[in-house]
């Protein structure tokens, strides 16, 4: 990282943001944001998998101008990048999700707001203004509460519902256990009512975690307050019928986040979703699964080979593929596009930007991603994201 004479912060890559964010965050917050599940093999693999993919540059192709504009669900994004949902952003900065929303709007990319936001979804919508925003949904055992969240997201102008399907139970994040992670008293899960739901319940979990009593959640040393909350509140009985139900109660496009196999990608298409989001939740759920970028080619191939199944649901003409996990370089985005992604999401880098500089920090992170992507495109001989093709990359098992 470049350090000026007065010790100022001059990040030159996304890892520099992470290093500085670590210095600024509490141990608990940094542990929650950065960690993966169990031995964190998948967390590391998300990065390493990108390093195994080689680029195949073409030359003499006029790259004096590079076009990154991308169409997403009938809207426009200024690059094929979106902000992934991450919970509890006020742990990173007092302005939390509103700062992220303003930054995403400024840069012209979509933001996905987490159900587990520390700012009410309506307030985030107001900050986002005309910015494109999606609402990430967790389905609660209290179905009525889930329906209310969807109705509120529709009323507040969110343009899609992103249903996360890889949290039937909370992954085992050992940093949260070691740090006795709790939400600080001044923060709440702001999409919920103190009386009836979330904030109150997480407070219960917080006290139980602190005094080791187990409290209402029966916490032991092997459970964190977060896992106690998730395991007692989220609906672990979701099936593919849940997608049909969701589509029956909202006219918004439905995206399914957490797809990792061709089999599930095909099922998602049968159930009429608008996009699948290939993701292993940033290595935070099942440790030992492949990186999303590794499974992307087989998912793309299965969708291309198998015809769209007939069903009584309205089918999108083409189901889009979004991907996330370990994206830290512009060239990672180029690799993902070449392997079949329509959009690429970033999670932790946005949190690091938020911790380093609030709204401006997130703008800087997204702008750095844009600059790196533009340069990678030029050096690879590609002047338009729409023209990125499979020929641009070589996988380890393919001949040179």
Ligand X SMILES: Cc1cc2nc3c(=O)[nH]c(=O)nc-3n(C[C@H](O)[C@H](O)[C@H](O)COP(=O)(O)O)c2cc1C
Query: Residues interacting with ligand LXCWX6NK, by CB under 6 A?
Result: 87, 116, 167, 189, 202, 226, 229-230, 281, 284
| Min dist. Cβ of residue 121 to ligand X (A) | 13
First to last CA, the chain: 34
Size of the site for ligand X (CB under 6 A): 23
Closest to ligand X by CB, 172 or 284 = 284
Which residue's structure tokens are 């533009």? 374
| Min dist. Cβ of residue 225 to ligand LXCWX6NK (A) | 8
Contact 163, 257 (CB under 8 A): yes
Q: Residue 322 forms beta bridges with which residues?
A: 277, 343
* H-helix or E-strand spanning residue 394: strand 393-394
Q: Could you tell which of ligand X, ligand LXCWX6NK, none binds residue 229, using a CB distance below 5 to 8 A set by kind?
A: ligand LXCWX6NK
| 35: its two tokens | 């960690």
Q: d(Cα 42, Cα 55) in Å, to the nearest integer?
A: 23
Which residue's structure tokens are 């050096």? 379
DSSP letter at 29 equals: H
Q: Could you tell which of ligand LXCWX6NK, ligand X, none binds residue 335, using a CB distance below 5 to 8 A set by kind?
A: none
Strands 2-3 and 9-10: antiparallel
Q: Could you tell which of ligand LXCWX6NK, ligand X, none binds residue 206, using a CB distance below 5 to 8 A set by kind?
A: none
Q: Does 340 bind ligand X (CB under 6 A)?
A: no
281 is catalytic: yes
Give me the 148-187 binding string for ligand X, x by CB under 6 A, dash otherwise: ----------------x-----------------------
Is 85 assigned a ligand-binding role in the annotation? yes
Closest to ligand X by CB, 163 or 385 = 163
Residue nearest to ligand LXCWX6NK as judged by C-beta position: 87
| Min dist. Cβ of residue 89 to ligand X (A) | 9
| Min dist. Cβ of residue 15 to ligand LXCWX6NK (A) | 21
Contact 22, 301 (CB under 8 A): no
Which residue's structure tokens are 């889009």? 320
| Min dist. Cβ of residue 229 to ligand LXCWX6NK (A) | 5
| 286: its two tokens | 């099942």
Q: Could you tell which of ligand X, ligand LXCWX6NK, none binds residue 226, using a CB distance below 5 to 8 A set by kind?
A: ligand LXCWX6NK
**Residue ranges in 9-48 that form contacts with ligand X under rule CB under 6 A:** 32-33, 46
Q: d(Cα 236, Cα 377) in Å, to the nearest integer?
A: 42
Q: Could you tell which of ligand X, ligand LXCWX6NK, none binds residue 172, using a CB distance below 5 to 8 A set by kind?
A: none
Q: Does 93 bind ligand X (CB under 6 A)?
A: no
Q: Which residues are annotated as a binding site for glyoxylate?
A: 32, 138, 173, 281, 284
Site residues (CB under 6 A) for ligand X?
32-33, 46, 84-87, 114, 116, 136, 164, 257, 279, 281-282, 284, 324-327, 346-348
Give me the active site residues, please.
Answer: 281
Q: Which residues are annotated as a binding site?
A: 32, 85-87, 114, 136, 138, 164, 173, 257, 279, 281, 284, 324-328, 347-348
């Amino acid at each position: 990282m470049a350090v000026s004479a007065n010790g100022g912060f001059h990040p030159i890559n996304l890892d520099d943001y992470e290093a500085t964010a670590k210095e600024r965050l509490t141990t608990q917050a940094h542990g929650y944001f950065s960690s993966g599940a169990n031995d964190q093999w998948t967390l590391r693999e998300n990065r390493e998998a990108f390093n195994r993919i080689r680029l195949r540059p073409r030359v003499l192709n006029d790259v004096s101008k590079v076009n990154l504009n991308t169409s997403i669900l009938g809207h426009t994004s200024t690059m094929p990048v979106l902000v992934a949902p991450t919970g509890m952003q006020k742990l990173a900065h007092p302005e939390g999700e509103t700062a992220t929303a303003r930054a995403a709007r400024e840069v012209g990319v979509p933001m996905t707001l987490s159900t587990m936001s520390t700012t009410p979804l309506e307030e985030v919508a107001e900050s986002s203004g005309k910015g494109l925003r999606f609402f990430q949904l967790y389905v609660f055992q209290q179905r009525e509460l889930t329906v209310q969240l969807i109705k509120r997201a529709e009323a507040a102008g969110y343009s899609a519902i992103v249903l996360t399907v890889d949290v039937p139970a909370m992954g085992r994040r050992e940093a949260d256990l070691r740090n006795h992670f709790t939400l600080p008293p001044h923060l709440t899960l702001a999409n919920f009512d103190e009386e009836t739901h979330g904030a109150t319940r997480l407070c219960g979990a917080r006290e139980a975690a602190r005094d080791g009593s187990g409290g209402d959640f029966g916490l032991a040393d092997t459970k964190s307050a977060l896992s106690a909350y998730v395991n007692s509140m989220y609906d672990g009985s979701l099936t593919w019928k849940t997608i049909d139900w969701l589509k029956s109660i909202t006219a918004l496009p439905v995206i399914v986040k957490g797809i990792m196999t061709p089999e599930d990608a095909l099922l998602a298409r049968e159930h009429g979703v608008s996009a699948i989001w290939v993701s292993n939740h940033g290595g935070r759920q099942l440790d030992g699964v492949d990186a999303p970028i590794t499974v992307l080619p087989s998912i793309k191939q299965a969708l291309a080979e198998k015809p769209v199944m007939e069903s009584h649901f309205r089918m999108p003409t083409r189901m889009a593929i979004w991907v996330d996990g370990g994206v830290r370089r512009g060239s990672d985005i180029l690799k993902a596009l070449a392997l079949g992604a329509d959009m690429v999401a970033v999670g932790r880098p946005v949190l690091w930007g938020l911790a380093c500089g609030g709204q401006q920090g997130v703008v800087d992170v997204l702008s750095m991603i844009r600059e790196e992507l533009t340069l990678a495109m030029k050096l690879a001989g590609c002047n338009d994201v729409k023209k990125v093709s499979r020929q641009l990359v070589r996988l380890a098992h393919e001949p040179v």
